[in-house]
Structure formats: structure tokens, C-alpha cells
Amino acid sequence: MAWVGRAGFRSVTGVTFQYDNQVLKSFDSAAFSMAMCYHATPSLSWLDLSQRGALYILLCCGIKSLIMTIDDILDHDIDAKVERTKNRPIPRGDISLPRAWMWFTLQVIVGVQLGYNLLNRLTLLVSMWVWPIFVIYPTCKRWMDFAPVPLAMMFNVGSFMGWTDLRPEEVPWQTLSIVYLATGFWTITFETVYQHQDKLDDAKIGARSLALYMGEQTVPLCTATTVLFLFLLSYAAFLNGHGVIFYLSVMVAAWELLVPLSKVNIDIPRDCLKFFLGMPRVGSTLLAGLLLDAIIQRYIVGTKL
């Protein structure tokens, strides 16, 4: 349903399916959680981890497409007034609202059915508390400045789902809550920079955003949220017993985040998009650190992969 050029969304006869950097970012929190569970659970095999991870990538594709569909429906009037989004299918008249609502309804039906069939009861219940935010989030720019916060709440519920999917009988809620908070700060970082692409149009039409609210203080804010992200994720990893390999990956991720952030010009949309598109690399670095740390630990103690 959505089309954002280089950001990777596609519309094919009104049907949305996307595998892009946003899918990877929504998958990252679940992947971190799964990797941490793998580290803490010697009986969990690499094959089981890989199979569930692959399933979650597909689920994230579906969920992200559903979110983009309802976002395009509820935001179609605003999208028509913003340069970056005015050529999306609904504003340009390629797809009618009734047709879009029919597609959204079908996505919801299929999504709920898949959830009931593919997820255990605890994981499904954990996911359900953010379902209302799917509909609330697209309206946020109309009435609040802090839309990245509900986005973070919605995007990163995988922090709990990943572990509960693999090991529902023993869940370290405190550790996972820290992961959830950490990845939430990360979402606030990249989403706030991303919002600067539309700030001129947003200001003209009266839409609200954290980018407009923070203005020139965006980079200091995002530097603080980046530090909080990396610190809290490191603390969660410490509680989970991770070792030096992971912390080396944190140092690399810090470089991948803080250096581009220090150079981004928030008044140049291309710069903001470039920073945004660099986030999957950060997630991949940290996930590789978690997995490599777990694998080396298993090798040291003689546990099978």
C-alpha cells in the first residue's frame, strides 16, 4: 500500500508486502531476545533457533505491511499534502478507501489466524497488548509531539515475544523489560531523525512531530537516546551472562550510530534518510555479537550448537 521510493515500500495492485529495513528493525528486538535465550538455554538447538527466527522474519513482514496499510488509510489526507508521501496509492487516487479497508480487514483476519496457529499462548498474549497501538499510532501526529514513543512501544514487543516463543516456562521478565526499553530508545533515535524529512510540510499543515518539537536539539537528544540504548542493552546482556564478544559488538555499533549521527544534517532530507537506512547494519552488528558470543560459550563448555 505504501510507496516511499528508496526506503523500500512497494505497491502491487494495492497489495502490500515488504521486506525492507523497517522489517529488519521490527525483527531486531525479537532477534535479540531469541539470541539471548539461546545463550541462556543449553538445550535449545541452533536448528530450532533458526527455524523460529525465519518464521519471525515472515511474521514481521506481515505485521509491518498491516501497520503501513492502516497508516496509509488513516493518514491519506495528510499524505496528500506532504511532498514525500503525496504519490502514495491512496492520495494519488490509485486505490479507493473502501478497497484499502477491505485489504486491511483481510490482513487482520489472516494475521490473527496465523498468530493463533503459530504462536504459543503466552507469546500471543504478550503481543496482544500492543495491537490497539497499531490503530492509535497513525493518528498521533494529529494530537501529540511524541509519536516515536508509541511507535517504540509497538515496534519492540518482540523483546518479550522472542524469548517466550522459545522458552515460555522460564522467562526473565526483568532482563527482557530492559531490552524492551533499550530498543525503544533506539527507535526514538532513528524515527526522530527520519521525521526531519517532512518537517517543513508538517509545519505548514499543522502536523506534529518530535522533530519539530526538538528542532536543533534533535542531535543532542538522539545522542542521549543512543547512549541509553547501548547502555541498557549491555546491562541486559550482563544480566543474561554474555561475555566480551558481545561487548565488542556494542563498541562497533556505537561507532555505526554515533559517528553518522554527529555528521547528519537534519535540514537535508537525504541525510536523514541515509541515517535511517543505516539502522539494519547496527542491528545486524549487535545480533552477530549476541550469537557469536553464545556460540563461543557453547564451544568452551562443550555444549552442542
Residue 220 lies in a domain: yes
pLDDT digits (tens, 9 = 90+) for 225-279: 999 999 999 999 999 999 999 999 999 999 999 999 999 999 999 999 999 999 9
Residue 2 lies in a domain: no
Which has the higher per-residue pLDDT, 264 or 5? 264
Residue 105 lies in a domain: no
**Tell me, what's the pLDDT at 300?**
87
Domain that holds residue 280: 20-61+120-301
Please state, for a pLDDT cut of 90, what percent of the chain lies above it.
76
Whether the predicted pLDDT of 220 surpasses 50: yes
**Tell me, what's the pLDDT at 23?**
65
Q: Band of the pLDDT at 304, cuts 50, 70, 90?
A: confident
Q: Band of the pLDDT at 21, cuts 50, 70, 90?
A: low
Residue 113 lies in a domain: no
Of 17-31, 45-59, 234-248, 282-296, the poorest mean pLDDT is in 17-31
Which has the higher per-residue pLDDT, 3 or 205? 205
Whether the predicted pLDDT of 14 surpasses 90: no
Residue 91 lies in a domain: no
pLDDT digits (tens, 9 = 90+) for 108-141: 999 999 999 999 999 999 999 999 999 999 999 9
Provide the grid cell at 123.
507469546
Q: Give kind and range of the element (H or E) at residue 285.
A: helix 279-301
Q: With contact defined as beta carbons under 8 Å apart, do 191 and 154 qualify?
A: no
Residue 163 lies in a domain: yes
HSE toward the beta carbon, residue 268, CA cutoff 13 A: 7
Please state, for a pLDDT cut of 70, what percent of the chain lies above it.
92
Residue 284 burial by CB count (10 A; 0-12/13-18/19+): exposed, middle or buried? middle
**Tell me, what's the pLDDT at 85?**
86
Provide the grid cell at 130.
500492543
Mean pLDDT across 13-25: 50
Q: Band of the pLDDT at 3, cuts 50, 70, 90?
A: very low
Count of domains forming the chain? 1
**Tell me, what's the pLDDT at 1?**
34
CA atoms of 286 and 254, how far apart (whole Å): 10
Residue 9 lies in a domain: no
Residue 271 lies in a domain: yes
**Tell me, what's the pLDDT at 20?**
55
CA atoms of 278 and 21, how far apart (whole Å): 8
Q: With contact defined as beta carbons under 8 Å apart, do 144 and 17 qualify?
A: no
**Tell me, what's the pLDDT at 11?**
42
Q: Which of 201, 210, 239 is nearest to 148 (CA)?
A: 210
The one-letter amino acid code at 189 reads: T
Beta-sheet strands, E only, within the chain: 11-12, 15-16
pLDDT digits (tens, 9 = 90+) for 164-213: 999 999 999 999 999 999 999 999 999 999 999 999 988 999 989 999 99
Q: Whole-model pTM?
A: 0.90
Whether the predicted pLDDT of 12 surpasses 70: no
Which has the higher per-residue pLDDT, 12 or 30? 30
